[in-house]
Amino acid sequence: MNLGRRSFLGAMASGLLPLRLHAASPLFEDVVLSAPDGRVLALRVVSPQRPGKHRTAIIFSHGANGTWDGLTHIITAMSRERWMFVPLHVDSEAHAQHSKIAPPEVWRTRVEDMKLAISYAWHRLGSETQIVAAGHSYGALVAQALGGATVFGQEVREPRVSTIVAISPPGPIPNFVSAEDWAKIAVPMLVTTGTADVLPMIAPTWQAHLASFTATRVPRSAAWVGREVDHYFGQMIQRLARHAPNQKSQFDAAMYIVDRYIGAIAETLKNDLAWFSGNGPIRSFPMQSESFDWKG
């Protein structure tokens, strides 16, 4: 059986193939950028393992306290055909200023980090590059803000962002972000969460993670809910050594869906767009999926 890359990954996530795909370690370099406030920003630049014909850059924001190492599986999955640019934010456990900056300042620096990364990506790859703002948890909210959502009552939209990928974004938080704020999102967005994705501080129920999807009015936005998926996909995101049920097949399904969503929206691939409008995530991953919604 001769399978293309996407067919192979889809079969893997569906459990149709008995062997795991052992992807090559992505090639990366760490560069240092200077922020306008004088800070030094460390940026991990990951080159595509198999460059696609479309030039796309994923600018990825890690979750609160997150690290580059904790994103190993996401970086490997998302950089197969696309560039990735991953800032190390000041609230990272690996950052020298961890816990030394007040929360409102953390937000400001996170947004600034992502905008610097976008400018660097354009400088390096060219102004025709499609920019995808992506993130996990707190980082997902940063990506949504760059796509138009207001946070802390502030508008920080980055016009070069064409697509949002929000993995487990927070639910509504008083004096921080609300449905009205997410209604200002201006570009298509994919939201993912799971039926075990409960964190009292940001989502007292897993359904709270879908608030931003419910609020957005932008067509071709989507929401995928993984069956028995928690905030970290078990041991796949950030907390790689935690004790949790194995959620590898759900993670593979989510990464396949992310891959096709970027293809459909940022790269305007008709086959990928048709896959979503035809309920592809449920048809392809019935065991891993709890639900899928599409705003056509």
pLDDT at 125 over 50: yes
Indicate the pLDDT class of residue 96, thresholds 50, 70 and 90. low
**pLDDT at res. 261:** 98
- Phi, psi dihedral angles at 115 (to 5 degrees): -65, -40
For the entire predicted model, the pTM comes to 0.91
**pLDDT at res. 17:** 37
Lowest mean pLDDT among 85-99, 129-143, 207-221: 85-99
- Inter-CA distances, 117 with 63, 111, 194, Å: 17, 10, 29
Q: Residue 165, class by beta-carbon neighbours within 10 Å (0-12 exposed, 13-18 middle, 19+ buried)?
A: buried
Helix, strand or coil for residue 252?
helix
- What's the rounded Cα separation, in Å, for the pair 83 and 231? 25
Query: Where is pLDDT greater, at 17 or 95?
Result: 95
**pLDDT at res. 52:** 78
Indicate the pLDDT class of residue 242, thresholds 50, 70 and 90. very high
Indicate the pLDDT class of residue 107, thresholds 50, 70 and 90. very high
**At the fourth CATH level, which superfamily is domain 24-295?**
Alpha/Beta hydrolase fold, catalytic domain (3.40.50.1820)
Region 218-244 average pLDDT: 96
Name the nearest CA neighbour of 209 among 167, 238, 245: 167
pLDDT at 97 over 70: no
Region 186-204 average pLDDT: 97
Q: Tell me what percent of the residues of the chain surpass a pLDDT of 90.
A: 79
Query: Where is pLDDT greater, at 82 or 38?
Result: 82
**pLDDT at res. 24:** 61
**pLDDT at res. 103:** 66
What residue ranges do the domains of the chain occupy? 24-295
| N- to C-terminal Cα separation, the chain | 34
Note the pLDDT tens digit of each residue in 44-91. Answer: 999 999 887 889 999 999 999 899 999 999 999 999 999 999 999 988
Neighbours of 243 (CB within 10 A): 7
Helix, strand or coil for residue 156?
coil
